[in-house]
Amino acid sequence: MEESIVKVEHLSHRYSIQWAIRDINFEIKNNGIYGLLGSNGAGKSTTMNIMCGVLKQTEGEVYIKGINMAENPVEAKKHIGFLPQKPPLYNDLTVEEFLAFTANIRRIPAEEVNKAVQIAMERCGVTHFSKRLIRNLSGGYQQRIGIAQAIIHNPAFVVLDEPTNGLDPNQIVEIRHLIKEIAEERTVILSTHILSEVQATCDYIRMIEDGQVVFAGTVDEFDNYIQPTSIFVSLASMPGTDELMQVPSVIGAEHLTGMNYRVQFSDAHEAIAKIVETSVLRNWQLMEIRMEKSSLDNIFAELSVKNKSKK
């Protein structure tokens, strides 16, 4: 039987009287990028901290490559690389000094430390900054150093908590590319509350809401789950919403800004066809028409309700 890289069974944790997560179960056997998606406060960081042995759970078990984290944390952590939400950097050290320090903490043999540091720096694209103080690096490069310390001991399982948080758009693209490269050889879990981040980076999704897993599947399965709820229309002649309401299958119309409208429908295909047809007949000058997906907040709410109704 194939050994799981990570297995979480009936995991629950309580802060004082408040349950942060409740009865979480999942298993990962394959390499790739797994997104842990959820709104702020959903329980993502709590789950990750427990999986990495930073926090001891109230109930349940975590196994890393078959090793029980609670019973044998030292052995389990040998297989884990962890980047917390705030990178654990020592700003007064150079990049090379810091990575050598983390290599020693990870119990890499002394004669192999330099090689491990060089490989991590090269993999994360920071070799040219090896002698520079960490405090003098940009946020994007500091995040790269954080990832380098997470992979320096060549772990099978890498956990990244909000890895693109606070970065500018260019830095986000660079970190996404780096994460994909790292995942070619190992399993990566990253947490985020941004749906586009998961869709751009991940192969699989685990969604947590209100401390419980409410969705588990591929990104394609998740995209297919998100049903269109409205039609976005751009009309240069700017007809009144009352005119749009006369179109068959249109049950609601809202003027947004400028030429833009949001239209609710009873039958999406008929509504789109009739809007196009009517635009030609009435010279509305159709500029754009497309389906709109549910907002992430609505998806969270819908999945949470469905999850609760199953219990």
Q: For helices 95-105 and 113-123, what crossing angle results, to 10°? A: 120
For residues 200-225, give the mean pLDDT: 85
Q: Do residues 62 and 68 lie in contact, with contact meaning Cβ atoms separated by under 8 Å?
A: yes
Least confident segment among 44-53, 77-86, 223-232: 223-232
Q: Note the pLDDT of residue 202.
A: 92
Domain borders along the chain are 6-225, 229-293
Contact partners, residue 216, CB within 8 Å, separation at least 6: 26, 204, 205, 206, 207
Q: Is the pLDDT of residue 310 over 70?
A: no
Helices (H), 69-182: 73-77, 95-105, 113-123, 139-151, 169-182
Q: What is the mean pLDDT of the chain?
A: 90
For residues 133-154, give the mean pLDDT: 95
Least confident segment among 34-38, 57-61, 106-110, 277-281: 34-38
Q: Do residues 95 and 134 lie in contact, with contact meaning Cβ atoms separated by under 8 Å?
A: yes
For residues 267-292, give the mean pLDDT: 94
**N-term to C-term CA, the chain:** 31
Cβ neighbours around 270 below 10 Å, total = 14
Q: Which CATH architecture has domain 6-225?
A: 3-Layer(aba) Sandwich (3.40)
pTM: 0.76
Q: Note the pLDDT of residue 195.
A: 77
> Quick one: tokens of 215?
């969705």
> 226: pLDDT confidence band, cut at 50, 70 and 90?
low
Sheet holding 59-64, edge to edge: 18-28, 6-15, 59-64, 67-68
Q: Note the pLDDT of residue 3.
A: 78
For residues 99-115, give the mean pLDDT: 96
- Quick one: which of 15, 18, 16, 37 has its CA closest to 26? 37
Q: Note the pLDDT of residue 27.
A: 92
> 13: pLDDT confidence band, cut at 50, 70 and 90?
very high
> 296: pLDDT confidence band, cut at 50, 70 and 90?
low
The tally of CA atoms less than 13 A away on the side-chain side of residue 7 is 11
Indicate the CATH number of 229-293 among 3.30.70.330, 3.40.50.2300, 3.30.70.120, 3.40.50.700: 3.30.70.330
> 298: pLDDT confidence band, cut at 50, 70 and 90?
low
> 292: pLDDT confidence band, cut at 50, 70 and 90?
confident
What residues form DSSP beta bridges with 257?
Answer: none
Condensed to tens digits (0 to 9), the pLDDT of residues 119-137 reads 999 999 999 999 999 999 9
Portion of the chain with pLDDT greater than 90, in percent: 69
For residue 180, give Cα distances in angstroms to 119, 186, 189, 296. Answer: 17, 10, 11, 24
Q: Is the pLDDT of residue 183 over 70?
A: yes
What is the SS3 assignment for 299? helix
